[in-house]
């Protein structure tokens, strides 16, 4: 018997009971935690299969698209029984399908997303938030190596830790302006995001960091400590894929291309970079942020391009 995926179970339930919110879908399908339902519904929305809108009680509710994608007629019993494969459901209920083919697909539950930091940073005074640290998720010796490397470059990075806020809020460049909402939603759902940082080497997106002034340089992080941190994180969390975003000629990309990805069991690892263009200082990070928003919701369409008309080049890392 073909195993039913969570996406198929949600589609089948919405065929039977349209207008359920994420909590109701979680209870009706048995999918938990509720954040997983939220991620799947957002991914289906990005593909044009689900419409999400405020319901009568203020909560977001979900409908299968009825303007051509799905028939509004009552679903057949055969198509909605547990275990019915998605293609069987679609054959019974789809008149026209407008889901855009994906060039890059990412399962947020099994993928490590890696993004660069930004030169622009938020300055907040006298604010010290609590949050996770990547140091706490590493073996003691490896964690100490990263901590020591951070200490060595504090003066060069002009580090100021009188204020500590989550990394994804600290960085305010175009990437984070364009991708902020998607990053926040992904973190709430438990998605794994690591940021390559000029002052900290590698940080969790939710890790509180201070203010600093330094671009990322591989030479500041010797003996491949960052490589080992990334690989250990993948093993520890049993992640199956890596989706990284960085301009192709940067130090970030150099780090990502040199990591020995073959030393861990990965199904896929890809580096996505905006194509070269004039005005790249602004357009490139904005394209990365817009791509990040789509990637965190499940993937990029084959014909995707940024609001400035930039396409992405894809480099397979494994």
Most confident of 70-74, 81-85, 96-100, 227-231: 227-231
pLDDT of residue 3: 59
Q: What is the mean pLDDT of residues 102-119?
A: 89
Distance CA 26, CA 33 (A): 7
Cα dihedral across residues 58, 63, 68, 74: positive or negative: negative
Higher pLDDT, 55 or 84: 55
> 290: which 2 tokens?
């817009």
Q: What is the mean pLDDT of residues 77-97?
A: 40
Q: Is the pLDDT of residue 244 over 80?
A: yes
> 90: which 2 tokens?
């679609």
pLDDT-derived band at 102, boundaries 50, 70, 90 = low
Please count the other Cβ atoms lying within 10 Å of the Cβ belonging to residue 143.
Answer: 17
Distance CA 123, CA 148 (A): 25
Q: How far is CA 286 from CA 184, 247, 310, in A?
A: 17, 11, 10
Q: Report the CATH fold assignment for 6-99.
A: Arc Repressor Mutant, subunit A (1.10.10)
Q: 23-37, 200-214, 223-237: which range is least confident on average? A: 23-37
What residues does each domain of the chain span?
A: 6-99, 111-316
pLDDT of residue 214: 96
pLDDT of residue 157: 97
pLDDT of residue 93: 40
The region that residue 298 occupies, defined by phi over 0 for left and psi between -120 and 50 for alpha, beta otherwise, is: left
The region that residue 36 occupies, defined by phi over 0 for left and psi between -120 and 50 for alpha, beta otherwise, is: alpha
Partnered with residue 219 across adjacent β-strands are: none
> 100: which 2 tokens?
């855009």
Nearest of 191, 50, 227, 30 to residue 113 by alpha carbon? 191
The fraction of the chain above a pLDDT of 90, given in percent, is 56
The two beta strands, 268-274 and 312-316, are antiparallel
pLDDT of residue 25: 92
The distance between the two most distant Cα atoms of the chain, rounded to a whole number of Å, is 67
Give me the DSSP letters along the chain: -PPPPHHHHHHHHHHHSTTEEHHHHHHHHT--SHHHHHHHHHHHHHTTSEEEEE-TTSSEEEEE-TTTTB--SPPPHHHHSTT--HHHHHHHHBS---PPPEEEE--TTTEEEEEE--S-B---SS-B-----GGGGS-HHHHHHHHHHHHHTTTTTT-EEEEEEEHHHHB-SHHHHHHHHHHHHHHHTT-EEEEEETTTEEEETT-EEEE------GGGS-TTHHHHHHHHHHHHHT--EEEEE--TTSHHHHHHHHS-GGGS--SEEEEEEEPP-TTHHHHHHHHHHHHHHHHTTTEEETT---TTS--EEEEE--
Distance CA 61, CA 128 (A): 36
pLDDT of residue 302: 74
pLDDT of residue 86: 46
Distance CA 246, CA 273 (A): 5
Most confident of 13-17, 122-126, 263-267: 263-267
Q: Is the pLDDT of residue 69 over 90?
A: no
Chain segment 295-317, per-residue pLDDT in tens? 998 888 877 889 999 999 989 99
- Over the range 228-241, which residues count as b (16 or more CB within 10 Å of their CB) and which as e? bbbbbbbeeeebbb
């Amino acid at each position: 018997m073909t195993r039913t995926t969570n996406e198929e179970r949600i589609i089948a339930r919405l065929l039977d009971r349209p207008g359920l919110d994420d909590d109701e879908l979680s209870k009706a399908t048995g999918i938990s935690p509720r954040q997983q339902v939220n991620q799947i519904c957002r991914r289906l929305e990005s593909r044009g299969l689900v419409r999400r809108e405020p319901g009568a009680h203020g909560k977001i509710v979900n409908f299968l698209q009825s303007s051509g994608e799905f028939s509004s007629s009552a679903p057949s019993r055969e198509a909605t029984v547990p275990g019915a494969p998605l293609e069987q459901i679609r054959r019974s209920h789809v008149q026209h399908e407008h889901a855009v083919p994906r060039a890059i697909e990412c399962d947020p539950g099994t993928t490590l997303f890696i993004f660069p930091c930004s030169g622009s940073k938020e300055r907040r005074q006298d604010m010290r938030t609590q949050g996770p640290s990547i140091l706490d998720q590493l073996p003691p010796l490896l964690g100490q190596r990263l901590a020591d490397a951070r200490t060595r470059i504090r003066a060069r990075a002009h580090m100021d830790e009188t204020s500590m806020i989550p990394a994804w809020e600290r960085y305010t460049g175009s990437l984070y302006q364009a991708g902020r909402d998607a990053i926040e939603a992904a973190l709430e759902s438990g998605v794994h995001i690591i940021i390559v940082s000029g002052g900290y080497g590698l940080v969790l997106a939710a890790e509180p960091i201070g203010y600093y002034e330094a671009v990322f340089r591989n030479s500041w992080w010797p003996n491949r400590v960052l490589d080992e941190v990334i690989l250990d994180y993948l093993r520890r969390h049993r992640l199956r894929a890596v989706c990284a975003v960085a301009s192709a000629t940067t130090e970030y990309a150099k780090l990502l291309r040199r990591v020995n990805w073959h030393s861990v069991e990965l199904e896929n690892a890809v580096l996505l970079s905006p194509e070269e263009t004039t005005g790249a200082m602004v357009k490139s990070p904005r394209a990365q942020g817009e791509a990040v928003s789509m990637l965190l919701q499940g993937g990029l369409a084959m014909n995707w391009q940024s609001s400035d008309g930039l396409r992405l080049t894809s480099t397979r890392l494994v």
